[in-house]
Amino acid sequence: MDTRIFDMANIDIAWCPGCGNFPILKILKQALAELEIEPTSLVLVSGIGQAAKTPHYFKTNLFDGLHGRSLPAATAIKAANPALTVIAESGDGDMYGEGGNHFLHTIRRNPDITNIVHNNMVYGLTKGQASPTSQIGFKTPVQVGGVFLEPFNPLAVAIALDASFVARAFAGDTEQTKEIIKEAINHKGYALVDIFQPCVSFNKLNTYEWFKKHTYYLEDSHDRSNRNEAFKKATEKEQFPLGIFYISPDKRTFEENIGVYQENRQPLYERKPNIEKLHSLIKTFKIAD
Amino acid sequence: MDNNLSFQKKNDLSIVLCGQAGQGIQTVEHLLTRVFKLAGYNVFATKEYMSRIRGGTNSTQIRISSEPVRASVSRIDILIPLNQGAIQHVEERISPQTIILAEKEAISDDFDQTRHNFIDVPFTKTASEIGDRIYSNVVAAGTIGGLFGIELQTISKYVKDFFSARSDDVVQKNVAAAKGGFGLGAGLANSSKIKFDIRNDAHVKDQILLSGTEAVALGAIAGGCNFISAYPMSPSTGVLVFLAKQAKDFGIVAEQAEDEIAAMNMAIGAWYAGARAMVTTSGGGFALMIEGLSLAGMLETPVVIHLAQRPGPATGLPTRTEQADLELALYAGHGEFPRIILAPGNLEDGFRLAQKAFNLADKYQVPVFILTDQYFVDSYYNTDCLDLSDINIEKHIIRTGADYKRYKLTANGISPRGIPGFGEGLVVVDSDEHDEAGHITEDLDLRTRMVDKRLRKFELLKDEIIPPELVGSEDYKNLVVCWGSTYNIVKEAVKNLGRDDVAFLHFKQVYPLSNETVNYLQKAQKTIIVENNATSQFAKLIRLHTGIDIKSKILKYSGLSFYVEELTERLNGLLN
């Protein structure tokens, strides 16, 4: 499929020149095109922030909701119509800060959605405050003496929760990132792809160069089914590993567990309540002998 | 003290059981309401309870009558105190006519038995003989059954049904407890100490016994609800529990969310993708949903909110009742967008309005509230079987064309609603101000047109306002105005007044307000508002929309609903 199917005509992109969001936008279009996913059967769900604007530069169905709340909406969209490919995409502040609680519980719920997090370790849209993933010592107009909060480790948290798919990518590497995203979308169950991405305006510390210097790819020998090993890798913080850390095999998805699709594959919008059955149910309140 | 006991009314009795949490008062309520209904009596039950799992003092009131009874009274005709402290808990409601069935150990020393109609009934002793004093509650249920001449077989059947999930031993012992109690009750009946004259009502047999919770939940199913996301919070949880239990049979996604924020955003996401979704919550939980409510306003996504009120602020009185979140529902959410607020007054309303809420939400693409309260959801009575013949699930989803625009500017403000995956079009929704296609915009002229479009729906939905219900003579001089759960209390109180110059006007839809409101109010020489809150929120709303200031107010905000007698007295005070 041609990636241009996802291109929007005449759009005014709100990102800074050189922003790490550009390559992610391009990579995601390529991945979806290679997977032959039609715009009409795809829903991009996002929150608020610069990364959360990504869906607007995409010709597809989109639900751009509230700050931090994309995961509950994405979960429900998938549950209402499992035939849709649902991707929740936003930044580190949105997913790990404002939406932190949903991040934890969506992993537990395990809907068959892909969760792409643009992780630039800073708040861009609000002009340069610390994000949950900002590195210790990172100075901002608010964290004037430097960040002293322990950086949030999304991968370690996800693996601790036995997330069904956990990966990290780097926006500077188109090929590998595309392959990771494709695997994440193909994976049945919740899939986290945390993407390192520079913010050229507000993060002068974690630049393209910095990310190149401080990352490496997991070896081919890395056992994706070994949770302890994956967790160990996720806690490395001098050099950050990239790749697919962990896949929890054979986890049932939310859509499988909710039961409404066991006997009937119809999406919810095609259904009507069974009035006959409702009549029988109401009759039980007669409390007959 | 008196061997010649008589009640205030012989054909309408109020039985109150009182004890600590964990003593099985709810079990007794469950059993007795069912067996009384089955025996053909009109029955009403409501409870008041503390926010705790064990201890404290809770009570349940069961009214049985020859005529339909649907409201809470303060009068206690028969009191069964199951622990020490129970009598003090309801002391103000005990009259010289109250018959207290208790064993001496449940009565504290400072209670003067000689001044009350006290009959020693060995509930605990009977239970202990069966094996454990824990069965006292079922002994008490059996006693009431025996006293009222219910067949033992009927009681046993319901005891068995109720405990069916438990071990055989538990079932046997509870049946034995019911039987033991039945003997005690039959003995009382034979002694002719207690005289009453409650007749069977032939209508009752074909009626159903329902609670407010069940009415709302059944209405939701009838409205095509196939998705509920909620975080447990008293007194709203029952609707989630009911729908979760029916989820498999009716194809409902019933999900307990991590918080109310998730619950609301799930409901909105579900509607976006074509489901018919609702949330159920109470004040504090709804407070967390408010940003989501505003999102529904902006996305023009339908959503149904069951808001079961309890007293606030903050945690307030978690298990009590109040009508103080009307203004919260009315003004919640930043920005300006239309909404509908429905407030059922009786069980039929609960069912009908919950059903209609889904159609209204879908048609106008607005949030629709079903505003109830603890008193409403926790009260039961027998009512006519719900009629499904005119149930209509109105779906307003369109198949999209390739050039589909979600927010097309239309004359009436409603943009046909497509959903992703149904048609050739793309469905783009955005919490930012957006253009017709749904994409983010800062075109300020377009912004104005979008606001106007959203608000045009508000004018449109006024065509479908459920009018207030006038009960009583149309030639009234005095008009009592009420809304929501007080319907049946006001009805009985106004009836008690015995005056043909008093009618009452009940609002089932409190927002937008019916245009007929002004005419009703202007016709009255005197108007009295009855509200279960401290600041007469509905009267303020009426004043805002009609300019009419209702000066006579009957308000209650103790955490309890009105008692019929109390309201009758307060109405009398204002009318004379």
Q: Of how many residues is chain B composed?
A: 576
Q: Assign residue B194 the CATH number of its domain.
A: 3.40.920.10
Region B434-449: mean pLDDT is 97
* DSSP assignment of A146-181: ---SPPP-HHHHHHHTT-SEEEEEETT-HHHHHHHH
B150 phi-psi bin (left φ>0, alpha ψ -120 to 50, beta other): beta
Tell me if chain B has a CB within 8 Å of the CB of A271.
yes
Cβ within 8 Å, pair B262-A271: no
Burial (CB count within 10 angstroms: exposed 0-12, middle 13-18, buried 19+), residue A129: middle
Instruction: Provide the pLDDT confidence category of residue A289 given band limits of 50, 70 and 90.
Output: low
Q: Which structure tokens are listed for B351?
A: 């069912």
CA-to-CA distance for B268 and B568, rounded, in angstroms?
44
B280 shares a domain with B229: yes
pLDDT tens profile B115-170? 788 999 999 999 999 999 999 999 999 999 999 999 999 999 999 999 999 999 99
Verify that B228 and B197 share a domain, yes or no: no
Residue B16, SS3 per DSSP: strand
**Are B362 and B247 in a shared domain?**
yes
- Spell out which residues of chain A touch residue B386, defining contact as CB-CB under 8 Å: 282
- Strands B208-211 and B502-507, by their bridges, are unpaired
The answer on B482 and B455 residing in a single domain is no
Residues A175 and A214: their CA atoms lie apart, in Å, by 19
For the ranges B51-55, B223-227, B438-442, the lowest mean pLDDT is seen at B51-55
d(CA B491, CA B502): 11
Domain check: are B112 and B72 in the same one?
A: yes
User: For chain A, which residues make up each domain, given as ranges?
Assistant: 3-263
Which of B464, B486, B505 represents a domain boundary (last residue)?
B464
Q: What is the DSSP string of A229-286?
A: HHHHHHT--SSEEEEEEEE-TTPPPHHHHT-TTSS----GGG----HHHHHHHHHGGG
Residue A204 and residue A149: Cα distance in Å, rounded? 19
B388 within a domain of the structure (yes/no)? no
Written as six digits, the tokens of A23 are: 């390559």
Residue B102, in any domain of the structure:
yes
pLDDT bin (cut points 50, 70, 90) of residue B515 is very high
Domain closes at, from B175, B206, B237: B206
- Domain harbouring B349, CATH code: 3.40.50.970
CA–CA min distance B510, chain A (Å): 28
State chain A's mean pLDDT as an integer. 96
Contacts of B79 (CB under 8 A, 6+ apart): B15, B16, B17, B18, B87, B90, B94, B98, B99, B100, B101, B102
| Cα B136 to Cα B117: distance, rounded to the nearest angstrom | 21
* CA-to-CA dists, residue B320 to B5, B317, B323, B376, B377, angstroms: 34, 6, 11, 11, 11
Task: Report, as an integer, the average pLDDT of B483-501.
Answer: 97
* For B274, nearest residue in chain A (alpha carbons): A269
| Residue B392 within any structural domain of the chain | no
3-state class (DSSP) for residue A191: strand
Which of A87, A269, A275 should be substituted to probe chain B, the one whose Cβ sees the most B Cβ atoms within 10 Å? Answer: A269
User: Same domain for B74 and B123?
Assistant: yes
SS3 at position B36: helix
Pick from A71, A76, A273: CB nearest B393: A273
pLDDT at residue B10 in the model: 85
- Average pLDDT for residues B501-518, to the nearest whole number? 98
What is the average per-residue pLDDT within B512-518?
Answer: 97
Q: Report the gap between the CA of B264 and the closest CA in chain A (Å).
A: 9
Residues 6+ apart with CB under 8 A from A116: A24, A28, A87, A88, A89, A181, A184, A193, A195
H-run or E-run covering B125: helix B123-130
Q: Is residue B23 in some structural domain? A: yes
CA-nearest of B493, B559, B538 to B70 is: B493
Q: How many helices (H) and strands (E) does chain B have?
A: 18, 25
What is the per-residue DSSP string for B257-320? -SSHHHHHHHHHHHHHTT--EEEEE-HHHHHHHHHHHHHHHHHT--EEEEEEE---STT--TTS
Query: B221 is written with which tokens?
Result: 């199913």
pLDDT for B396: 97
Q: Establish if A285 touches chain B: CB-CB under 8 angstroms.
A: yes
B5: closest CA among B79, B67, B61? B79
Q: Which of B247, B261, B393 sits opposite A272 (nearest CB)?
A: B393
Distance (Å, whole) CA B560 – CA B568: 16
Q: Residues B186-232: pLDDT tens digits?
A: 999 998 888 889 998 999 999 999 999 999 999 999 999 999 999 99
- Average pLDDT on B46-62 reads 89
Q: Is B391 a member of any domain?
A: no
Q: Mean pLDDT in chain B?
A: 95
Q: Are residues B195 and B322 in the same domain?
A: no
Q: Within a domain: residue B345?
A: yes
pLDDT number for residue B538 = 98
**Closest residue on chain B to A44 (Cα):** B428
Helix axes B123-130, B136-147, angle to 10 degrees: 120
Section A42-65 average pLDDT: 96
Nearest to B273 among A81, A285, A287 (CB): A81
Pairing of strands B340-342, B303-309: unpaired
SS3 B236: coil
Q: Report the residue of chain B nearest A101, measured CA to CA.
A: B258
Q: Which domain holds residue B549?
A: 469-575
For residues B408 and B473, state if they share a domain. Answer: no
Name which of A66-75, B105-114, B380-389, B557-566 the model is least confident about: B105-114
User: A–B: how many Cβ contacts below 8 A?
Assistant: 213
List chain A residues with CB under 8 Å of B229. Answer: 72, 76
Confidence band of B2 (pLDDT split at 50, 70, 90): very low
Q: Answer yes or no: is pLDDT of A110 > 80.
A: yes
pLDDT of residue B5: 62
User: In the structure encoding, which two tokens stand for residue B380, read together?
Assistant: 């039961």
What ipTM was predicted for this assembly?
Answer: 0.98
Is the Cβ pair B275, A268 closer than 8 Å?
Answer: yes
> What confidence tens digit (pLDDT) does each residue in A206-228 have?
999 999 999 999 999 999 999 99
What number of CA atoms fall less than 13 Å from residue A68's CA on the CB side? 16
Average pLDDT over residues A195-209: 94
- Split into its structural domains, chain B has a count of 4
The owner of tokens 């990636």 is: A3
| pLDDT, tens only, B58-106 | 999 999 999 999 999 999 999 999 988 899 899 999 999 999 999 887 7
Same domain, B274 and B289: yes
Q: Percentage of chain A surpassing pLDDT 70?
A: 100
More confident residue, B113 or B3: B113
Tell me: do B350 and B335 sit in the same domain.
yes
Point out the residue among B255, B386, B429 whose CB comes nearest to the CB of A64.
B429
Question: Pseudo-torsion of CA A232, A234, A239, A244, nearest 10°?
Answer: 110
B12 at interface of A, judged by CB pairs closer than 8 A: no
The stretch B369-385 carries a mean pLDDT of: 98
Q: Which of A41, A275, A288 sits opposite B388 (nearest CB)?
A: A275
Calculate ∠ Cα A137-A142-A145, nearest 5°: 35
Tokens of B533: 């809150």
- The answer to whether residue B1 scores a pLDDT higher than 50 is no
Chain B residues 310-369 with a CB less than 8 Å from chain A = none
Q: Does B529 share its domain with B547?
A: yes
Verify that B200 and B70 share a domain, yes or no.
yes
Is residue B390 situated within a structural domain?
A: no
pLDDT digits (tens, 9 = 90+) for A12-32: 999 999 999 999 999 999 999
- Cα–Cα–Cα angle for B301, B303, B304, nearest 5°? 165
**Count of C-beta atoms within a 10 Å radius of residue A81:** 26
| Distance separating alpha carbons of residues B124 and B179, to the nearest angstrom | 14
Report the pLDDT value the prediction gives residue B6, as an integer from 0 to 100: 67
Residue B488's domain is classified under what CATH number?
3.40.50.920
Q: Which residue is associated with the tokens 């979008």?
A: B450
For domain A3-263, which CATH number applies: 3.90.1580.10, 3.30.420.40, 3.30.750.200, 3.40.50.970?
3.40.50.970
- d(Cα B548, Cα B536) in Å, to the nearest integer? 13
| CB nearest to A287's CB, from B209, B258, B272 | B209
Please give the Cα distance from A50 to A15 (Å, whole number). 7
Q: Would you say how long chain A is, in residues?
A: 289
Sheet holding B428-430, edge to edge: A215-217, A240-247, A165-170, A191-196, A114-119, A85-91, A42-46, A61-64, B428-430
The DSSP 8-state label assigned to residue B512 in this structure reads: S
B402 chain-A contacts, CB cut-off 8 A: none
The arrangement of strands across the sheet holding B277-281 comes to B253-256, B227-230, B277-281, B303-309, B367-373, B340-342, B509-511
